[in-house]
Amino acid sequence: MVTGATGFVGGNLALTLAKRGYRVRALVRDLGRANHLKKAGIHLIQGDIVNRVQVEKAVRGVHTIFHIAALYRSARHSDDVYRQVNVEGTSNIVNAAKKFGVHRLVHCSTIGVHGDVKSVPGDENSPYDPGDIYQQTKLEGEMVVQEAIKEGLPATIFRPSGVYGPGDMRLLKIFASIHLGRFRIIGTGKTLYHLIYIDDLVEGISLCGEKPEAVGQTYILAGPEYTTITELSRKVASAVNRKLPSGKLPLGPLKVAAAVCEALYRPFGLEPPLYSRRLDFFYKNRAFSIKKAKKELGFNPVVDLDQGLTRTADWYFDQGLLNGKMHIRFRKKKNKFNKDKS
């Protein structure tokens, strides 16, 4: 069973497992968003992880649970909503797993539980330092699973780095702003950031559910390289055939502006144009070692940043998500590059 199957990571995971011949069940809130899963032979059960009865209905008879669903970063939700989904929802999954004796629970956490990494590269033993309500509640949810592991539940926790690839919408704003020439680096640009291509992440998650060595363990799943915000931005600019705009914006005033926007918009349940968590990208280090996952799981991410960002940009163009058209000659050159890299 996969939770969060209508999302980017959960959807890719569910479809990959189905293609590999597994019988896959998905707990989804909105059946209308899951037609592509149904067509792939995935059995849909309507429900929400915050509803204990619906969770138990979905878990009964399941061999392995991949718990991917979570409330991601959004400034319009209250802290209570984050806690309800990311902590209480996880508790419902854990309790159902215990009740029906599942063979394995694979729980998705986040590298965000480590906050701003002071000693680079970080690893699974780096100090916890969540910096916002999303990261705090993801840590609390992870602690629920950790406690269940101590009590004997066969579970594995993975902490993914930033996920990207065709189908992802979180990085679209960066691609679009660079493509339009509006992007500016905030701060020094020396902050480190770590991404993982969706195919590599799905393979890592699958290994967490298959390898006997993974039971009771926690793994960081990240791509083969991390880089500075400046270099990442340059690579995105190259992927969309643009030159990275010059100039940087000061971080301090934008932090103040973000706080003001949140204070004005949040009481009305609206998403502010700028909020503090979005600025984390520019000044909090996210750089990790994946030695443990490589050694114990055989995890081997193969898609480098240039290749992954090019594929992602191509998908954005194909979907009409980037304003303007890519030069035909450039597209042909990129398609040849993709074939050579495959």
Amino acid, single-letter form, for residue 44? L
Q: Would the pTM of this model clear 0.85, i.e. be above it? A: yes
**CB 185 within 8 Å of CB 251:** no
133-144 b/e with 16+ CB inside 10 Å = b? bbbbbbbbbbeb
What does the pLDDT look like over 163-182, one tens digit per residue? 999 999 999 999 999 999 99
**CB 144 within 8 Å of CB 205:** no
**The pLDDT value given to residue 333:** 47
User: Which of the residues in the chain have pLDDT under 50?
Assistant: 325-342
**The pLDDT value given to residue 74:** 58
d(CA 182, CA 143): 41
**The pLDDT value given to residue 77:** 61
Q: Which residue has the tokens 């004796």?
A: 101
Amino acid, single-letter form, for residue 115? G
Contacting residues for 283 by C-beta, under 8 A, at least 6 apart: 116, 186, 187, 191, 251
Residue 211: phi, psi to the nearest 5? Answer: -75, 125
What does the pLDDT look like over 269-287, one tens digit per residue? 777 777 677 788 888 999 9
